[in-house]
A and B are shown apart, each in its own frame.
Chain A
Amino acid sequence: MNEQPKKFKWVGTRTIRPDGVDKVTGRAMYGADLTLPGMLQGKVVRSPHAHAKIKSIDTSKAEALDGVKAVITADDMPQADPTPVAAGEAMINLRDLSDNVIARHKVLYEGQTVAAVAATTSDIADRAVALIEVEYEVLPHVIDVLAAMKDDAPVLHDDMFTGGVKPKPEVASNVANRVEFTLGDIEAGFAAADVVIEQDFTTEPVHQGYIEPHAVVADANPDGKVDIWCSSQGHFMVRTFVAGLLKIDMSKIKVTAAEIGGGFGGKTTVYLEPLAVLLSSKSGRPVRMVMSREEVFRASGPTSGAAMTIKMGATKDGKIVACDATLYMQAGAWPGSPVGPAAMTAFAPYDVDNVKVVGFDVVSNRQKVVAYRAPGAPISEYGVECVVDELASELGIDPLELRAKNAAKEGTQAAYGVKFGAIGMVETVAAAQATEHYKTPLGPNQGRGVASGFWFNIGGESCAGIRINEDGSVSLTEGSPDIGGSRASMAMMAAETLGVDYYKVKPSVVDTDATGYHFVTGGSRVTFATGMAVVKATNAAIDELRARAAKIWDVDVEGVVWEDGHAKPASSNVGDFDPMSVADLAAMANKTGGPISGHADINAKGAGPAFGTHICDVEVDPDTGHVTVLRYTAVQDVGRAIHPSYVEGQLQGGAAQGIGWALNEEYIYDENGKLENAGFLDYRVPVASDLPMIDTILIEIPNPTHPFGVRGVGEVPIIPPLAAVANAVAAATGVRFHALPMSPPAIVAKMAEKG
């Protein structure tokens, strides 16, 4: 970079977050915190079977119980159209979504909702749930992805024929779809390779593990208006889905975003909201529903597990010349695994001429998957980054050197279609190579692994409003639920643009009646897209402030410039006027045309793709298989860190979740397809003492599309850890593990096998 970085007053500083005091004092209102007069408690009846026909549901005993005010089944839900609707980074079929909210005719996984009740107390609601009698005809089930693809596997949907293949198959199967991305000619590529490595890998489904369970309060009025308060990653998404499922005009639904206790993609769909609305509408009273942790595990989405084959070829001098991958990804009970993004991202960190990726979207009798940080990418890039390591070892080249040699850069054609603009893959590898960490010697039973990762990032619809108050303070409204400190970042960008004190700007995430449509808080888009809307709205307010000064000074608006938070004459030719501050102009607003504001409603384009490279040191206890993560460094191109603490937090959180994915997280089913570890005791996310301090290095290659250079940062950091840990374990033990998680029993078993 030849250009000197521009000096900012607020951007890049570590301001105090506007929501912090409420959160640390317990005042913040999360999904379950609202209480309304006359409010009922809603509870759900769940399927005990992994696959069964619902023969009958008898709700009479529950309805007769004193204190029960409403009972619903699928008969209370309108029949949904199979219309695709955007859900996070995937599309979802409303009929499938409806079946996942409440089962009609058939249950497809243990834990699926079959009925719901609302009663005056939780205790009565629990008793009512126990009184609902459901008669099932149990069907054979299938859990594993490869087993679900066999010819004799139980078929979940008799109307599902594999898409993306020609001719259309004649028999229904569990393979929903086939995708393919190709570039160049892999056969010619492999023919030119001196070294070819081909390996199979598997990963298990993993849950997002947010601390706050799903929670909602719904209040349906007799005139058809509906108010919903809930914890979600998009209150507009909730409005879209509730309107679509219950066939209500969007204008009649107001959704207020509660504070959110984590989501990581898992709150980009609805589970309880439509049920709470139906129960409220049937009982005529507000209804609160809150999942238990067990329900979160049994009935809310993890991301896919997968089986895959990765093949890569390179020449002796370390040039990767061909890449081939086949991915089989679990979608859960309905189609919609992130196989598309998994296929598109698989080899994206590398500049390779010949690439082919084929992916399959496969249903089985388990929870419907939903987005989880960089959906699909950690899975495919795990296999690829392990093979890159094997190539490096075979070629006798340092693994970071091999990555540097083949790194994608500006102008690289990616197999998924785009030609990259300014990107920072090369810089993240170089920064990793330069760390003291990478050069530090290791002890016995210790190993070091590295891995890189790529994610697209997205833009999308966002709106913002800037209102200059009578005293010159600033109210900022937008509609992206704040999941990672975005209110602070929005206020910082507004303060920087307007030239006022950050602490004079109050940011609010407002309800669906108070702002325009926003796409979900997901895809690492909020600081980029909503940030662009905030800057555009602030610039609109600045234009209005300049116009007001022009009016006061009786000059043309072109004669007024905005600098350091003040209107100033553009030159001495305009006249000799004292600069006017925001507060000065606000005080005179009623004489110059009324309230001053700026608004922007945008569909942001040009999200900058981002890359990261991680270094992980582990020690493996050869006798117990216990893996200790000794040291970890995450390097990432973040474009521009608006609030560095929250950006570092994203890198650290992603690394922590990726380490859990690599080492211990998995779903354990019994022979009947029932989940055995529906809780944090036996579904093992890392606890604080399991992790070292995660060091972070922020590389800033500004995204030219964004006024401050922002790239999304939230998803890339969960991609490299799986392979970084796997490569470190391979280095420590001399054994390559091809399956995640690398839990202690799995490590001991594999090492015993290898002698």
Chain B
Amino acid sequence: MSGMRYEAPNSVDEAVKLLADANGAARILAGGTDLLVQLRAGMIDPGVVVNIKNISETHGIAADGGAFCIGATVSGAEMGEDAALSAAWPGVVEGAELIGSTQIQGRATMAGNLCNASPAADSVPALIAAGATCTVVGPDGQREVSVADIPTGPGQNSLGNGEFVLNIKLPARPANASDAYLRMIPRTEMDIAIVGAAVNLVLDGDGTCTEACVVLGAVGPKTITVADAAAALVGSKVDEAALAAVAAAASAAATPIDDKRGTVAYRTKVAGVLASRAAAIAAERARS
């Protein structure tokens, strides 16, 4: 580690300037739960670390007509304590809350999890299934981007020089809608997903699914949106036959690798198991 500068700007403009001036040698500090690990492991050697926690636009969860805007420095613990958010998007909140330990939960942010671009990121599948967007700020002003377009590959994101994510937005949703996220880890916590599966769905008045999105994590270089699994749900009562079709579609869509965390055969099977279980949970939540 050579000379590293630390900056804590108070405004978006200052932060953008610091990042742009560093020309790629900067790292953003929000929760820091990936950054500090990478620094200590010697994986990165940034010239400057820019703490964005002093920027007021990154703070808090704002509810507006059923939609939510979650600041980039909002921690998993803050999300879990927000009753309205947890009621509307239980799958998104449980994905964020599965990251790390209680201590990590006080720090770790969804925006950081998104930009870190791990294929196994726990909060990302449910965000994509939810159709979330984010506000990206940078030297050319701000733009709204689909969350799905931020990660481009393991450890890679689509942010340009000087850009950072300011907030994440979840849309307003109809009645009888809910979501769920499940992941497989060998332990019960403090681990990285071998497989993750998120399901977001909407039911009509008699319990028939009218909209669905099924997204897998950790079984490919990026999340995988399984259109066939969504198609199996839409028009069904989310019954056993539909759930079996979800499982088959998810397993068929998974493109995992063999590594120290799991085998291709295991991940392929469990992708189906978790997708169908998440669909059942989301449907149960939507009904109640």
Contact = CB atoms under 8 A, between A and B. Distances in A.
Nearest to B262: A745
Contact of B184 (A123, A624, A668, A749): A624
Interface string B137-168: 00000000000000000000000000000000
B188 interface: yes
A686 interface: yes
B273 interface: yes
Interface in B169-218: 184, 186-192, 194
A748 B265 CA distance: 9
Contacts of A684: 186-187, 191
A748 B260 contact: no
Residues of A contacting B: mostly: loop
A623 B260 contact: no
A749 B186 contact: no
Interface in B252-288: 260-263, 265-266, 269-270, 273-274
Interface residues of A, number: 24
B266 A626 contact: no
B190 A687 contact: yes
Contacts of A126: 1
A622 B143 CA distance: 46
A23 B82 CA distance: 37
B183 to A, nearest CB: 10
Given A624-B270, A748-B269, A682 B187 contact: no
A552 to B, nearest CB: 61
A156 to B, nearest CB: 25
Contact of B188 (A624, A668, A682, A687): A687
Interface in A709-755: 743-745, 748-749, 752
A690 interface: yes
A677 interface: yes
B186 A743 contact: yes
A742 to B, nearest CB: 10
Given A745-B266, A748-B266, A664 B186 contact: yes
Nearest to B184: A624
A681 B193 CA distance: 11
Contact of B273 (A123, A623, A681, A686): A623
A684 B260 CA distance: 12
A690 B184 CA distance: 14
B275 to A, nearest CB: 12
A676 B260 contact: yes
Contacts of A743: 186
B188 A744 contact: no
A689 interface: yes
Interface string A662-691: 011000100000001100011010110110
A44 to B, nearest CB: 15
A657 to B, nearest CB: 15
Given A123-B1, A623-B273, A744 B260 contact: no
Interface string A599-643: 000000000000000000000000111100000000000000000
Contacts of A668: 260
Nearest to B277: A623
A682 B266 contact: no
B263 A626 contact: no
A720 B249 CA distance: 43
Contacts of B274: 624
Contacts of B184: 624, 626, 744
A586 to B, nearest CB: 49
A748 B269 CA distance: 9
A663 B187 CA distance: 9
B263 to A, nearest CB: 5
Contacts of A625: 266
A749 B263 CA distance: 10
A689 B263 CA distance: 25
B107 to A, nearest CB: 17
B188 A689 contact: yes
A677 B266 CA distance: 19
Nearest to B259: A676
A296 to B, nearest CB: 15
Interface of B: 1, 184, 186-192, 194, 260-263, 265-266, 269-270, 273-274
13 contacts: A123-B1, A624-B184, A624-B270, A624-B274, A626-B184, A663-B186, A681-B191, A682-B261, A684-B186, A687-B187, A689-B189, A748-B266, A752-B265
